[in-house]
Amino acid sequence: MFTSGTAPSGPIDCQVQVRAHGDTVPAVAELAGERLVVRLTDPLRGVARGQTVVCYRPDMLAGDEVIASATIAETG
């Protein structure tokens, strides 16, 4: 789930991508038990169960860093 192997202690601001060639959108992600909960800042159409969500930490100098990924279990 978290690429560092350690979950952050609270919510983190990040960018997320749910389509292989889709744009990233702002979100807040946090671990809730064994689940990664991602709350998008703005609605995103067409998100479905079974898709993969990838969370990035933007870095203008080194390039975006993948910080987490998970399979979408529910939307709402």
Which phi and psi angles does 14 have, rounded to 5°? -155, 180
Q: What is the mean pLDDT of residues 60-73?
A: 82
Q: Using one digit for the tens of pLDDT, what is the confidence trace for 35-65?
A: 899 999 988 888 999 999 999 987 766 667 8
Measured CA to CA, the distance from residue 39 to residue 37 in angstroms comes to 7
**DSSP string covering 25-40:** EEEEEEEETTEEEEEE
Residue 7: band (very low, low, confident or very high) from pLDDT cuts 50, 70, 90: confident
pTM: 0.81
- The pLDDT value recorded for residue 9 is 81
Confidence tier at 1 by pLDDT (50, 70, 90): low
